[in-house]
Structures are given as C-alpha cells and as structure tokens.
C-alpha cells in the first residue's frame, strides 16, 4: 500500500463554491489536484492507494478526509469533480470516527496527531521536504509508505514538530521547489519503477 497525507492550511471546512476553488475555498484546487494525482492513472484508479487530507481552514477546523482507492466510484480526475466530492463530505456532521460520504470517501473530526497516531500503525511515515534523502536512492526500500506533504504554504512549524515525532525519514523529490501534486506524481513514478 501507498498513502499520502496532504495538509491544507487554508482549505475551508464547510461546503464551498466550486467556481472559486483557488480563492474563497482556500486553495482547494491544490487539494483536488493532489487527490487526483494520487489516485488516477490513464483510464483507471490505483487500488493500492489511500489519500488523507487535513483541512485546517475556517470555519470549523480541523476536519480530515480519507479516500480509499479500492473503494472509489464515480470520480473523475478534473478539479471540479473532485471538488464536488469534497464538498459533499464537508456537508456532513462529523465526530472522531470516520463517516462515509460517498463510495470510498470518508470524513471525520481529526487533527494531525489523531491522524498520525492512527496511520503510524499501518504505514511508515515519510516527510517530503526539499532537504531530505533523494527519493531515487530510497524508493525501493520503502514498504507501505505514508508521504506527508504541505500545500502552497508548506507545514507550519508546530505541525512539522508533530510530523517529526512520527517520521522515519525525510525524503526529497527534487532540488526545485515543486507543487505538491507534482511531488505525488514523482513519488508514484519512482515507486512504480522498483
């Protein structure tokens, strides 16, 4: 299995306007692209992938999403389609337990500690940061990795401290500063080659 956890620092926590993903929805466009790039190949979905999203924007943070590749139905890779699926999940009342919204898509009230405590049992936590080990040198050693990425703002200092308590390794995908969804494509590419 492979998993990704994307932290949306400004991504809103209530239903939002699908015509303004990059604006009033708090850069939800980035989250949509990350989900799509983690799940989709041409004409298919990667069944061995889970995507987690931590939404930290107003008005009701934190909320977490879980998207399970092997269960997802009726999802297309365009931002608007993924955005619609997120929006529906954010319309549900949440508590600490995962609640199903649409096939393969779950929502809960979880913060970063909750998520990592839960995921640490099943996954090796890998923090993606530009100063880490070269992905090419370590990709084939990774078993059940969970890759943690920030959005355009990266991770806040206090969130980074939490991640570092769980991270087994810091890994870099490029010397350039790339967009989060581009990092996900490269991680898949290097793991696929193993």
Binding site for a copy of itself (CB under 8 A): 18-19, 21-22, 29, 33, 37, 40-44, 76-81, 152, 173-179, 182, 185-186, 188-189, 192
In the bound state with a copy of itself, the residue whose beta carbon lies nearer, of 39 and 112, is: 39
Contact by Cβ (8 Å): 144, 183: no
Closest approach of a copy of itself to the CB of residue 111, in Å: 25
Closest approach of a copy of itself to the CB of residue 94, in Å: 26
Residue 139 in tokens: 């990709």
In the bound state with a copy of itself, the residue whose beta carbon lies nearer, of 1 and 185, is: 185
* 159 contact partners, CB below 8 Å, separation of at least 6: 7, 112
Say how far apart CA 109 and CA 115 lie, in whole Å.
Answer: 10
Closest approach of a copy of itself to the CB of residue 66, in Å: 23
* 194 contact partners, CB below 8 Å, separation of at least 6: 139, 140
In the bound state with a copy of itself, the residue whose beta carbon lies nearer, of 124 and 190, is: 190
């Amino acid at each position: 299995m492979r998993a990704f956890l994307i932290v949306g620092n400004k991504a809103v926590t209530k239903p939002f306007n699908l015509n303004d993903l990059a604006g009033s929805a708090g850069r939800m466009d980035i989250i949509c692209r990350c989900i799509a790039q983690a799940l989709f190949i041409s004409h298919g979905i990667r069944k061995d992938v889970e995507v987690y999203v931590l939404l930290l924007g107003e008005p009701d943070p934190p909320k977490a999403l879980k998207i399970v590749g092997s269960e997802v139905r009726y999802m297309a890779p365009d931002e608007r389609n993924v955005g619609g699926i997120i929006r529906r999940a954010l319309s549900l009342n949440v508590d600490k337990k995962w609640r199903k919204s649409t096939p393969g898509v779950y929502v809960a009230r979880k913060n970063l500690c909750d998520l990592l405590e839960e995921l640490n049992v099943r996954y090796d936590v890998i923090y993606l940061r530009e100063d880490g080990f070269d992905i090419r040198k370590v990709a084939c050693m990774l078993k059940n990795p969970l890759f943690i990425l920030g959005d355009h703002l990266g991770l806040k200092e206090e969130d980074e401290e939490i991640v570092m308590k769980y991270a087994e390794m810091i890994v870099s995908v490029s010397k350039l500063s790339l967009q989060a969804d581009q990092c996900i494509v490269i991680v898949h590419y290097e793991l696929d080659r193993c």
